[in-house]
């Protein structure tokens, strides 16, 4: 008899998007870290999201054909794209930088008498790519154990366009394109992990 696992039907409000400065051989947290505990440094949450967070893969194929046969003989793999996407609901200068993939953020702390500031400056000329390690953390619905996604090395490729109105909040649309991380053998683009429960 076929059995099904309700933990594989994942829907949640408890969605966390994590970012860390890129370092070789980045790894997901240990399976013993529960889904409601923050990942340790160097990872940091990017804040609230709107509309969820996701990941996608797309592989292009080109058909090889000959005059004598109407159908393709076989297909050759072409460009492959792996992405993490999310709408960042906290429109901070740091999140704008992360989503747009350009600029530099400086933070001046407040004092008892002077307001500080967080400021993003995008200079003229070619932008320095925003390369980082990215992760998603979502609890499985029944066991509560983590469902995690990791892009060991990714570049922000989003085009930022944020509108603020009486009926619409400003969002920073995050789109991260995975890059091959050659610090692993073979190189890695994406890791998806479902933590399993202990045996009885």
Q: Are 91 and 122 in contact (CB under 8 A)?
A: no
Quote the pLDDT of residue 3. 85
Q: Are 172 and 162 in contact (CB under 8 A)?
A: yes
Q: Where are the alpha helices (DSSP H) in 70-136?
A: 93-100
Share of the chain above pLDDT 90, in %: 79
Nearest 5°: CA angle at 90, between 84 and 91? 100
| Average pLDDT rounded to a whole number, residues 187-200 | 93
Quote the pLDDT of residue 100. 86
* Residue that the structure tokens 């890695």 belong to: 188
User: What's phi and psi for 13, nearest 5 deg?
Assistant: -90, -15
Q: Are 94 and 106 in contact (CB under 8 A)?
A: no
Rounded-to-5 percentages of helix, strand, coil across the chain: 5, 40, 50
What digits encode the pLDDT tens for the residues 26-52? 999 999 999 999 999 999 999 999 999
Establish how many alpha carbons lie within 13 A of residue 154's alpha carbon, considering only the half-sphere containing its beta carbon.
30
> pTM above the 0.85 mark?
yes
Q: Is 134 exposed, middle or buried (0-12, 13-18, 19+ CB in 10 A)?
A: buried
The residues with which 165 forms a beta bridge, in sequence order, are 168
What digits encode the pLDDT tens for the residues 129-188? 789 999 999 999 999 999 999 999 999 987 778 889 999 999 999 999 999 999 999 999
């Amino acid at each position: 008899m076929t059995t099904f696992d309700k933990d594989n039907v994942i829907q949640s409000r408890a969605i966390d998007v994590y970012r860390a400065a890129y370092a070789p051989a980045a790894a997901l947290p240990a399976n013993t870290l529960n889904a409601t505990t923050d990942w340790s440094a160097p990872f940091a949450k990017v804040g609230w999201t709107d509309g969820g967070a996701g990941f996608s893969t797309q592989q292009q194929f080109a058909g090889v054909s000959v005059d004598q046969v109407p159908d393709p003989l076989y297909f050759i793999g072409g460009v492959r794209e792996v992405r993490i996407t999310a709408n960042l609901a906290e429109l901070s200068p740091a999140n704008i930088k992360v989503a747009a993939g350009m600029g530099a953020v400086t933070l001046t702390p407040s004092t008892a008498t002077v307001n500080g500031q967080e400021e993003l400056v995008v200079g003229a000329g070619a932008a320095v790519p925003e390369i980082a390690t990215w992760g998603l953390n979502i609890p499985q619905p029944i066991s509560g154990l983590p469902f995690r996604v990791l892009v060991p090395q990714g570049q922000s490729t989003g085009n930022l366009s944020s509108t603020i109105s009486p009926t619409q909040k400003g969002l920073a649309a995050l789109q991260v394109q995975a890059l091959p991380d050659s610090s692993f053998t073979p190189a890695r683009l994406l890791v998806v992990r479902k933590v399993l429960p202990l045996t009885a």
